[in-house]
Amino acid sequence: MQDFLAQSLFGNTLREYLLACVVFIATLLFLKLFKSVIIKKARELAQKTKTEIDDAIVSFFEKIGWPVYILVALYAALLALRVPPLLYTILKYLFMFVITYYILRGLGQVINFATQIVIQKRQEEAAVEIDTSLIRLMGGFVKAVLWIIALLVLLQNMGIQVTSLVAGLGIGGIAIAFALQNILADIFASFSIYLDKPFETGDFIVIGQDKGTVKHIGIKSTRLKTLQGEELVISNRELTSERIHNYKKMEKRRVTFKFGVTYNTPVEKLKRIPDIVKKIVDKQEHGEVDRVHFKEFGDFALIFEVVYYLDTKDYLTYMDTQQAINLEIKKQFEKLGVSMAYPTQTIYLHKA
């Protein structure tokens, strides 16, 4: 028996082939036990927990197919044999590619899981449906970087010099960046908007002469719904280079307005106007008067200035309150006998 096992075949003894078979079968049985018992038990435990992280980990191992297990067992068995260098190199690189692929796929699941958590958190904070394309783009970007790094590492382990390859990609990348600099500027501006959060979906903002509610924050542009009802599309690069007034961040609104009365209004009635206006503003549900003053002598009228605060940032509530104040001022002035001013001219003629 010893003589039989000592016989050589293709550079290995039968004893070594037998040992390789034992290693192959033992490794395969262990992996089968791992998949059928341990993974199944882990699934049952994961279903009892509230977190979803363990479910993602178990799902990753469940998706590993039997071809991978056979390849792992075969590679372990070949370690006990003397095989031709070419065959060993092919199997070694195949094993590296497969293991790297599954590691990257597992990391991809982790990134997808983290991305979904961020999306749910942002939607809960916003309390409205938000655009998630930028968040998903960032997740895809991270996964792409991981694949590139893994590919370069594999090529380096295969004996390929990646330095010249990376240098060539760098030169090509610079050329592409120059050609797409406006698009890339908008994309990086979208990352800036996401990280810095100067505004979010649902915010009412003012940029220069434009104003509206943010409806969509995209990769290249942001869309607003203006007060007139149309959709306004602004590039993200332009948004990050302009001053933005975000009214959602405002805890209360400060309102200033003026009105004028005619020059022939008696002084006694002028003295009563501030108290009348203060009472009108204070009667409003959301209004709180700050001051009312006879400010100046205008070209056609005696000008009063009113400053008050609203305890809400809602624009429609502001307009409703201002309308109610205007109507009540007009009503009280009619009772008082005070005329609102309008542009007039008085011409004096002198006869010689």
What's the pLDDT tens digit per position in 191-226?
Answer: 777 777 787 777 888 888 888 888 887 777 888 888
For 24, the token pair is 């192959």
Q: Is the residue at 167 inside a domain?
A: no
Using one digit for the tens of pLDDT, what is the confidence trace for 129-146?
555 666 777 777 788 888
Q: Are residues 91 and 11 in the same domain?
A: yes
Single residue among 227, 248, 269 that ends a domain in this structure = 248
308 versus 81: which is more confidently predicted?
308
Measuring CA to CA, which residue among 333, 167, 200 is closest to residue 262?
A: 333
CB 281 within 8 A of CB 310: no
Measuring CA to CA, which residue among 153, 35, 26 is closest to residue 96?
A: 153
Q: What angle is formed at CA 241 by the lines to CA 205 and CA 197, rounded to 5 degrees?
A: 50
Pairing of strands 210-217, 204-207: antiparallel
Task: Give the structural domain span for 315.
Answer: 253-336
Predicted structure pTM score = 0.45
Distance, in Å, from the CA atom of 196 to the CA atom of 308, rounded to the nearest integer, reads: 32
**Number of domains into which the chain is organized:** 3
Q: What does the pLDDT read at residue 95? A: 76
Q: Is the residue at 109 inside a domain?
A: yes
Distance, in Å, from the CA atom of 113 to the CA atom of 119, rounded to the nearest integer, reads: 10
Q: Is the residue at 348 inside a domain?
A: no
Residue 350, pLDDT above cutoff 90: no
Q: Is the residue at 184 inside a domain?
A: no
Q: Are residues 26 and 131 in the same domain?
A: yes
Q: What does the pLDDT read at residue 226? A: 86
Q: What does the pLDDT read at residue 128? A: 55
Using one digit for the tens of pLDDT, what is the confidence trace for 337-349?
999 887 766 666 6
Q: What is the arrangement of strands in the sheet containing 204-207, beginning at the earlier edge strand? A: 231-235, 221-226, 210-217, 204-207, 244-246
Helices (H), ranges, the chain: 2-5, 14-33, 39-48, 53-62, 66-78, 85-126, 133-157, 162-179, 181-196, 236-240, 267-282, 315-336
Q: Is the residue at 346 inside a domain?
A: no
Where does the pLDDT of residue 332 fall: very low under 50, low under 70, confident under 90, or very high at 90 and above?
Answer: very high
Q: What does the pLDDT read at residue 20? A: 78
Q: Are residues 227 and 268 in the same domain?
A: no
Q: Are residues 208 and 277 in the same domain?
A: no
Residue 338 Cα distances to 226, 294, 322, 324, 333, angstroms = 38, 14, 20, 19, 5
Q: Are residues 221 and 135 in the same domain?
A: no
Percent of the chain past pLDDT 70, that is, above it, reads: 76
Distance, in Å, from the CA atom of 129 to the CA atom of 133, rounded to the nearest integer, reads: 12
Distance, in Å, from the CA atom of 249 to the CA atom of 202, rounded to the nearest integer, reads: 12
Q: What does the pLDDT read at residue 1? A: 56
Q: Is the residue at 50 inside a domain?
A: yes
**Highest-confidence segment of 42-46, 189-193, 215-219, 259-263:** 259-263
Q: Is the residue at 347 inside a domain?
A: no
Residue 11 Cα distances to 6, 83, 85, 217, angstroms = 11, 8, 12, 66
Q: What angle is formed at CA 261 by the lines to CA 260 and CA 263, rounded to 5 degrees?
A: 120
Distance, in Å, from the CA atom of 158 to the CA atom of 172, rounded to the nearest integer, reads: 24
Tell me the average pLDDT of the chain. 78
Query: Phi first, then psi: what are they for 294, rounded to 5°?
Result: -75, 105
Q: Are residues 34 and 150 in the same domain?
A: yes
194 versus 128: which is more confidently predicted?
194
211 versus 257: which is more confidently predicted?
257
Q: Is the residue at 111 inside a domain?
A: yes
Q: Are residues 6 and 151 in the same domain?
A: yes
